[in-house]
């Protein structure tokens, strides 16, 4: 779903999409359309819009997945676990008991798209991602 800037309706700033491999119940990503590798490279207005967009998406994701909480994370740089060289925010719906230890979500996020952790059963099909995106899109409008 491309999210328009309300102040500039013809200017698309961010996109929200379903991740191919979920770190938990779901993993929705919010990404700037402008190619930006690191968070520090965003312009101040883009940072504000990124978090405003993330807030909108987060409310929708929490409701859609009947979650009781959210983990919202940015992995900024390789030592932080960033494997895709494009700024993106993970919006992860959470429920009680979804991990043995609550902070294990960060371990899963750290390895969720690494090839060494590639387990075919963890990857979603294009059809599954499209269905999730379609369901979320209907609620976003």
In angstroms, what is the C-alpha Rg of the chain?
A: 15
Residue corresponding to tokens 């929490």: 62
**Angle (nearest 5°) at CA 61 between 56 and 63:** 100
Count H helices, E strands: the chain? 3, 5
Give the start-end residues of each E strand in 2-141.
2-5, 8-18, 28-32, 69-73, 89-94
Say which of 8, 64, 66, 88 is annotated catalytic.
Answer: 88
Active site residue 88: yes
Integer CA distances (angstroms), 35 to 24, 72, 85, 136, in order: 26, 21, 9, 24
Q: How far apart are CA 89 and CA 110, in angstroms?
A: 13
Please give the positions annotated as active site.
88
């Amino acid at each position: 779903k491309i999210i328009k800037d309300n102040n500039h309706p013809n200017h698309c700033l961010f996109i929200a999409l379903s991740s191919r491999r979920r770190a938990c119940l779901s993993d929705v990503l919010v990404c700037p359309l402008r190619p930006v590798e690191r968070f520090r490279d965003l312009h101040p207005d883009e940072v504000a819009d990124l978090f405003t967009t993330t807030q909108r998406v987060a409310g929708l994701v929490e409701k859609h997945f009947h979650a009781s909480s959210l983990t919202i994370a940015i992995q900024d740089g390789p030592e932080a676990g960033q494997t895709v060289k494009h700024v993106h925010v993970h919006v992860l719906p959470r429920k009680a008991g979804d991990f043995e230890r609550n902070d294990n979500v960060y371990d899963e996020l750290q390895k969720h798209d690494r090839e060494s952790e590639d387990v075919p059963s963890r990857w979603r099909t294009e059809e599954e991602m499209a269905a999730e995106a379609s369901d979320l899109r209907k609620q976003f409008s």
